[in-house]
Amino acid sequence: MLYTKLAKPFFFRLDAEKAHHMVIDGLYTAGKIPGIPGLARGMWGVKDYQELAVDLFGLKFPHPIGLAAGLDKNAKAVDMFANIGFGFAEVGTVTPKGQVGNDQPRLFRLPSDEALINRMGFNNDGADAMAERLAAVRERRIPIAVNIGKNKVTPNELAHEDYRACLQKLYPYGDFFVVNISSPNTPDLRALQHGDELRLLLTTVMEEMAIQAKKSGRGQKPVLVKIAPDMTDEQLAYTVDTISQSGVSGIIATNTTISREGLGHPNAKETGGLSGLPLKDRSTAVIRSVYKQTGGKLPIIGSGGIFTADDAYDKIRAGASLVEIYTALIYRGPELLNELALGLRKRLAEDGFVSITEAVGADYR
C-alpha cells in the first residue's frame, strides 16, 4: 500500500510530466544506493514461478509481464525494473539524434477514466546516449527491448535510414528490438504502417539486423513491429501480411489510440495518444485478429489497458505470448506486478494449464 497511500497522492499533485521524470530519476538514483535494490526486490519483486516462465525469441522471461515503452525513454533505470517485479522491459522510443519532442504540456492524466493522453513526440537523448547507458548496466536480470523510431525532421521516404542508424548504434545492447511505426505523435509516422513504405522499412531493418549479427559473430537478435489500434480491418490485415512476409520475429499490439470514445474526463479534449483502461478491449481485439490471421505462428506481445490479471489473461488467451503495462503502473504502482502474477497462476490452475504458454491462443482451441 506504500504507493497507493503515500506515493500516488504526492505524484498526482504534480504536473504529470514532472512526476514522470521524478519517478525515472528516483529509480535511477535508488539503483545506485547499496541495499536499495535488494530492499525493492523484497517489497515488490515477483517470485520465480515455473508455470509463468516463458521461453520466446531465444530469450528466457521469468514471467510474461513487462514494461511497455515510453516510461524510460533513455534507458536510465533499467537496473531497477527487475527489482520492482518486471519480467522484461522495453526502453525508448529512441531516435538516431536526440530531440526535445513536442511543446509542453504534453502528458495528461484522466483519473476517472484510468487513462493517460500523451503527445510527447519521441523526446529522448538519442541513440548514442542510450548505447552508453546500456553498456554501463552491470547486471541484466531480465530481457531488455529497445524501441526505435525516426527523428521528426526525417521525411518518410528516408525513415528507413533512421531505423538503420538506431540498429547500428544499439544492436550490441538490446536483447530484442521494436520498430515503432505507430505513435500518433510524430507527423505521418503511422503512414509507415502501410504499402511500399512499410515493405522498404522492414526490408532495411532485416538487412541491418543481419549485418549486425554477422559483425557480432552470434545469432540474429529478434525484432518486432509495434502497430496501432486504429486501423480498419482491411488495413490491419494488409499490414499484418506485410509484416509476416518480412521475416520479423513478432508484433506488439498495440500502441496508443487516437479514439476518445466513452471518455468522461475533461482532458479527453487533448490531442495525442490515449493509453490505459479505455484501450483494453480494442487492443485485445487486434491481438485476436493478428493471431487468427497468422495461425498463431507470429508471436504477439499484448499491450493496452491491462489493470487486472483477468485483463492480462484475456490477452494471453486471445493469442499474446507476453504482455506489457504502463498506464496501470502509474495508477496502481509496482505492487500490481505481484497481483498480476498471482492472478495469472490462479487462472492457469482453474483452466487446468500447467504453464502460461499452454494458455496462449486458448480461445481458438
Give burial (CB, 10 Å; 0-12/13-18/19+) of 187: exposed
CB atoms within 10 A of CB 274: 29
The one-letter amino acid code at 320 reads A
DSSP 128-145: HHHHHHHHT-S---S-EE
The one-letter amino acid code at 274 reads L
The active-site residue, picked from 183, 249, 283, 303, is: 183
CA atoms within 13 A on the CB side of 307: 16
Distance, in Å, from the CA atom of 339 to the CA atom of 125, rounded to the nearest integer, reads: 34
At 235, list the grid cell: 488495413
DSSP 263-322: --SGGGGS-SEEEEGGGHHHHHHHHHHHHHHHTT-S-EEEES---SHHHHHHHHHHT-SE
Per DSSP, 50 falls in state G
Catalytic site residue 355? Answer: no
Element (H, E) at 280: helix 280-294
At 129, list the grid cell: 546516449
- Point out the residues that are catalytic: 183
